[in-house]
Structure formats: C-alpha cells, structure tokens
Amino acid sequence: MRISSTGYTFGALVAASAAVSACGMFRGGQPELEVVTRAHYQPFTATYRGVSLGRTTQYFDEQPTHTDFAFEYFVNTDLAAAAQGLAATLVLDSIRLFNGATGGIMPEQVDSAWGTAFTANVGRDGRLSDFAGGEDAGPLAREIADRLLRPFFPIVPDRGVESGDDWSDTTETQMAVNGLDNTIQMISQHSATDWTHQAGERALHIITTSNYTFSGTGDQAGRSFTLEGTGRRHTHRYLSETGRYLGMVSADTSEGEARITDMEIVIPINQTHIDSILIR
C-alpha cells in the first residue's frame, strides 16, 4: 500500500493546519493509508507452480476406456515495461509427471519441454499477443503453451478492475496436439467479487464462467478423423493491488465426438481437467 502522508511536527495551529493540507489527513495521530480500489497490471517477476490433472474417456461399443494424466510444472515469469505496454517472458521449468497418470506423455517430451521460453506482448487487459516460442519443443510444451500459458493472465477491463465489475470477452485459440489441429471458440463472463488475501497479499478475486465449442481435424495411425464438441470451464483467479498475478484454480469438462473420415465410426469422448497455478 502507499502512504498518502508522511507525518508532521506539532507546533502553532497555523503551521499544523498547513502541514495537514500539504501532507494529508491524520486520525488519532496516525497517517491515513490510501486503499487501492482498482487493480491493473504492472511489471513484476515471479515463479509459479502449476499442477494439471485430467482424464479422457473414449467409448468403443459403449464401453469406456480411460486415460489419465497428471503433471507438475514451474513457470518463471517476467513482466517488464515495454515501448507499448508490457512484455512477458514465460519459461517452463522443472516439469514432472506423476506415476500412473502419464496419459501417454513420454519422458523425452518432458526433456524437450524443460527450459522452453515463450515471449508475448501484454495488453492493458492482460491479453497476450504476438505469442512466440516452443516451435521445436515437442507436444507437451505446445499443450502447456496453448492451454495454460496463452490465457495465463486473467483478462480485465482496459481501465483496470475493481470490486463489483462485470465484463465479458470472446477468444479463439488454435491448438495442435498429438496429430490434431483444433480450433476453440470461447465466450467468458467475468465478475470481480470482494478484495481478499491470497499468497500473503491483498488481492481481488475474479470469477470466470466460460462456455466453448471446439472443432478440428487430425490423423492418427493413418486414419483421418474430425473432432467436434462443447465444454464449460469455471475459474477463480487473483490479481493483487500491486498488479501481480497471484494464481488460479479451474475445473473444465467437455463432451465431443470423433468421427473417422473413411469409416462410419463415431467415438464419443469426454474430458475433464483440473488446473491450478500458484505464485511461490
């Protein structure tokens, strides 16, 4: 917090009045603290710990087959002043797969993702543009980048955000993972609730409810297929009064159908994701 007054020396009434006028109001001999009511992004550096858990269920002849994945990762983040707004550098570090829930992720994919750096410009609203990096880092790095890093910062109004604000946005994301080129169109409703404390800092709690559709085409084992479906996501994020992103937790469920192009086969697919990102 910023202190709006620095104190004054008691003396003659006129001198005291002049000091109060120059330095601010006092109550009970203590300086009145200025309370930040609107949060907006400012430069900072931080490290985040992320955990991603998920399950994919495919139905063959109405029989479910489950694939689970779970991994931990760290992101070293630098948000710096730039000629126009802010510039972000996000570096993946210390990726670890959890035993028994690798979801087909191979150790070499972890090795190639480790240390990958991504850069982007950051708008006043927290939206990343000119996102670049990780072209040769493998499918795990691309999935983390597309699903978790591109929407890393919560989107807020350009003027900043204060308690009671409600706003919405629409985004379109292109993802290319495991032979699938997928387009996700998402409509999100945001609400800034009360100021609270998160990670030892005074922070604004932002709740987001998103509905999305996805569609794509791919090729696996020599077979072409299409994928279409819908999903819902519920997210809690925290933005400090000093302009630092403090983290989030989200739950995501989706339902879709994969259709093998040259065969009359339709495979229902359900997915769930639980993600958390916490500042360290």
| Higher-scoring residue by pLDDT: 265, 12 | 265
Dist CA 102 CA 95 (whole Å) = 12
Q: Report the half-sphere exposure of 170 (CA within 13 A, side-chain side).
A: 2
Q: Report the half-sphere exposure of 83 (CA within 13 A, side-chain side).
A: 0
Q: What is the pLDDT of residues 213-253, one digit of tens each?
A: 999 998 877 788 899 999 999 999 999 999 999 999 999 99
The pLDDT assigned to 85 comes to 87
Contacts by residues 26-29 (CB-CB < 8 Å, ≥ 24 positions apart): none
Dist CA 162 CA 160 (whole Å) = 7
The pLDDT assigned to 264 comes to 81
What stretch of H or E contains 102? strand 86-102
Contacts by residues 263-271 (CB-CB < 8 Å, ≥ 24 positions apart): 263/223, 267/58, 267/59, 267/60, 268/58, 268/59, 269/56, 269/57, 269/58, 269/59, 269/227, 269/229, 270/56, 270/57, 271/54, 271/55, 271/56, 271/57, 271/231
**Lowest mean per-residue pLDDT among 39-53, 125-139, 168-182, 262-276:** 168-182
Q: Give the start-to-end residue ranges of the domains of the chain.
A: 2-31, 35-279
Q: What is the CATH code for 35-279?
A: 2.30.230
The pLDDT assigned to 25 comes to 36
pTM: 0.83
Contact yes or no for 167/153 (Cβ under 8 A): no
Give the three-state DSSP class for 149.
helix
The pLDDT assigned to 19 comes to 36
Q: What is the pLDDT of residues 18-42, one digit of tens each?
A: 333 334 433 455 555 568 899 999 9
Dist CA 81 CA 163 (whole Å) = 26
